Each structure stands twice: as C-alpha cells, then as structure tokens.
Amino acid sequence: MSEKFFAQVNRNFDRAAQYTKLPKGILNQIKTCNSVYHVTFPLERDNGEVVTIHAWRAEHSQHRTPTKGGIRYSSLVNEDEITALAALMTYKCAVVDVPFGGAKGGIKIERSEYSIGELERITRRYTYELWQKNFIGPGIDVPAPDYGTSEQEMAWIADTYRQLSPSLDAMACVTGKPVYQAGIRGRAEATGRGVFFGIREACSMQDDMKTLGLTTGIEGKTVVVQGLGKVGYHAAKNFQEAGALLTCLIEYEGAIYSEKGLDVDKVMSHRTETGSILNYPGAENMDSRKALEIECDILIPAALENQITVDNALRIKAKIIGEGANGPTSPDAHDIIKDRGALIIPDNYLNAGGVTVSYFEWLKNLSHVRFGRMDRRFEENAFRKIVEGFESLVGKKLSEAQYKSIVHGADENDIVDSGLEDTMVTAYNEIKEIRDRHNIDLRTAAFVSAIEKIGRSYDQLGIFP
C-alpha cells in the first residue's frame, strides 16, 4: 500500500526537524492538524434526483490567523489529501513570510458532471456549512481557488458569506475573486508567475548552475510543463517570453513534443478548437507519463500530487525540477532524483505565489482601497518633472515610448507583481542559505525555515533558540 499524502508531508517535516533546536512538544504541535470538518449535505439535481455531497475543510495551524488555503473540486478529494494540503499551506506561508496559518478545503465531485446551477448550489451550501461551524471569515479562515475551482466559485462564496454575516470587511472572507467583485489584479496568474520567479532566481545562482552543467539565466533552456491550468499555462508563458524553449506540454489526455519548441498560446487555441492539445501541427503526440521522462533542462510538474514516484524517478532526466503543483514528487522519488544530482525546487516554496497575492488581496479588502490609487498620479507627476528637467538640460526630447515608460506610475498590477517578485526572490535566498549551511536539499531547507518561523510564533517568552 502506498504511503498516504499526509504521512509523506510529515516524513519531510521530521527530516527537517532534526536541524532545528525546538523542543519535541512544540515540534509535535506544529505538525499536528488542529481541526478537520467533514460535512455531507443533499443536492437536488436539475433532473430532480437527490444525491449526497461529501466535503471537507481542514485547519492545520492557527499559529497565525486567519488560516488560509484553497478549495478544490475533484472526485479524488478525501480527508487525507485535504489534511496534507492544509499542512503544506502552513509551511508554505511561513517560508514566504505570509502571516497566515494553513488550511485547505475540498468537495468530492467531478465538476464536469454538474451544471452551472448545480455547482452554484453546491458552493453556496458548502459556504453555509463552513459559516455555521465557524470555518470561514476574514479573521478566521479565508479560502481561495484551487484545482477545479475558479473566480466564479469564489464570487459565490463571498456573496453567500456577506448575506450570512454582513459587515464592512465581509469580502475579505475569500480571495481569488473577480477583480470587479473586490478581487485583485494579478491573482489569476500569480502562482505560475511565482513559479517563474523562483526558478529564474535558482538559475541565477552560478554555483548551482555550474554543478548542473548549465549556464546562468533562463534564455535557451529547454522546458517541459505538465498541466496547462492557470499554474502551468502562466508558468509556460513566462518562460517562453524569457527566451526558454518549450519542448513538451503535457495534459491528462496526452502530451505533445517538438524539438523546435511550442508556442503555448497557439497550443491553447488549438485545444479550444479541438478539445485537446493532441495532434498539434508540427508536434509529436506522446503518452503523458512518458513525456515526464524527456531529456530537458527544466521540468515543471504543475498538475496534481504524486506524479513523480519510485516507479518513474530513475527515468526522469531533467536537471531542474520546479514543483508547480502541491506534492508532485514522493519523498522516495525525491531522494532518487536528488542523488542523481538534479536540483529540486520544492512546492512548499515554489508554488507560494498564489497565497502571496491572495495575501495582497486580503489586505486590499481590509483597507478598502485599490493599490496604486493614492500615489500613482503623484509618482507620474514627479517623474514627468524629472524627465522635463533632463530634456531641458540636454536639449533633446525623448521619444514618446521612452517618455511614457519613464513617467509611468505604478498601478495595481505593477505593485502586485513587484511584491510577488520580491517575496519569491527573498525566500529563495533564505532557503538556499539554510541549504548551504546544513548541506541539505532545498525541500528540507524550506521545511527548516518554516518550522523555525512557526516555532518562534509559539515562543511568547523568548525561551526557545
């Protein structure tokens, strides 16, 4: 029997804990899931049939409040998965210094089998159940989108919660909402963009790239991406724009390969027209599992957990594995790939872009002001005066494009992207320093970073190291 997901997370935790000096009791408290709510409720389907829906919400740690974590809709949802993902959220938030505890939710459905009206009724009832048990609220537990959910479900959650608990801050009960419903610009692409920033930072480290036999930078590197949802698509698009070569794109129905490279937007258009990425002009169709084993510089598994296991780890040839999904590599597979000399950039750091920008959205909802609204025009006027002074001094006018580029004041997109980039760059350098100090891998280093930060939050008297 394969090891359960939560046990895998705790195995990684235990491996890292030995590099900390926290008391055993505190370590046990950190890794224990505080609460799990399993609810069932009836749904009357459009044809009059009544079915029972199973749903969960796990709050792993309240060392910081509110807790934070996505809601997924999948036929594979179960309590162990939700508990494991909640734990990963705890550690992920700590690694990137986002002041939330970890949580996760899920509803056991295959969403393609339900109508929009049925999905709305399921979502609103789930929100009611969470509200009834105090598992949702701006200062309690704040959900977000995850696998199988989107802005639409988050809008339904926000509307339902606001009706149940009307208040000035009600819209901060959930993040990942549409921009026109108190969402934030840049949230949809945040996780994939964060994956790009994290891998880009890793590729800037001359010592690591030399060890891998690679040059620094992204340009020219071959990239394979598994999963073309929001995470995989935006990661692929950012790598393509940075000069990388997308040689293989993988989806559940199969994969496509081209040595010359693939244009991700054209592939997505082909998928919209045909219903599949397969048979893309100029590309070779491949089996999804075999495609993970293609020789490349960077492999980005951005779909579901346990995609790289002991069954295929020895055949994974990528020099860098950037975990865009939660738990895509099993602990045993991680050790096999690490021993081969590959660099694994772990999920408990790399896919933290989503929760980082969710944090920005939560702050925006509590402050009730759009980022950039207070100072954008002031910045533009100040920059304009500087440019005009420079032009007067040198006696030469800048081109219109140059002028607009220089005097542009930061809008919400700019501020969100800057904050995300700073978060990912800072966190990577922190975990790399821990890795180098202890001579461990990046995953263990990220857990060490998280455990030490969470441990300090329990230390009210300053007695722990």
Distances (CA, A) of 433 to 114, 176, 198, 439: 48, 32, 15, 10
Q: Could you identify the residue written with the tokens 């970073």?
A: 449
* Residues 190/230, Cβ–Cβ less than 8 Å: no
Q: What is the DSSP string of 182-217?
A: T--TTSTTHHHHHHHHHHHHHHT-HHHHHHHT--SS
Distances (CA, A) of 414 to 218, 325, 419: 22, 25, 9
Report the 10 Å Cβ neighbour count for 144. 26
Q: Could you identify the residue written with the tokens 């893309």?
A: 280
Report the 10 Å Cβ neighbour count for 306. 16
Q: How far apart are CA 170 and CA 404, in angstroms?
A: 38
* Residues 255/291, Cβ–Cβ less than 8 Å: yes
Distances (CA, A) of 156 to 117, 175, 179: 11, 12, 14
Q: How far apart are CA 415 and CA 185, in angstroms?
A: 10
Q: How far apart are CA 106 and CA 86, in angstroms?
A: 11
Q: How far apart are CA 364 and CA 172, in angstroms?
A: 8
Cα distance between the two ends of the chain: 39
What are the residues facing 37 on neighbouring strands?
Answer: 57
Strands 298-301 and 67-73: unpaired
How wide is the angle at C-alpha 146 spanned by C-alphas 142 and 147, nearest 5°?
160
The alpha-helical segments, DSSP class H, found in 329-462 are: 331-340, 347-350, 353-367, 376-394, 400-407, 412-438, 442-458
Among the options 104, 230, 319, 338, which is catalytic? 104
Told to judge if 104 belongs to the known catalytic residues of this protein, a careful annotator would answer yes
Q: How far apart are CA 240 and CA 192, in angstroms?
A: 13
Q: Which residues are catalytic?
A: 104
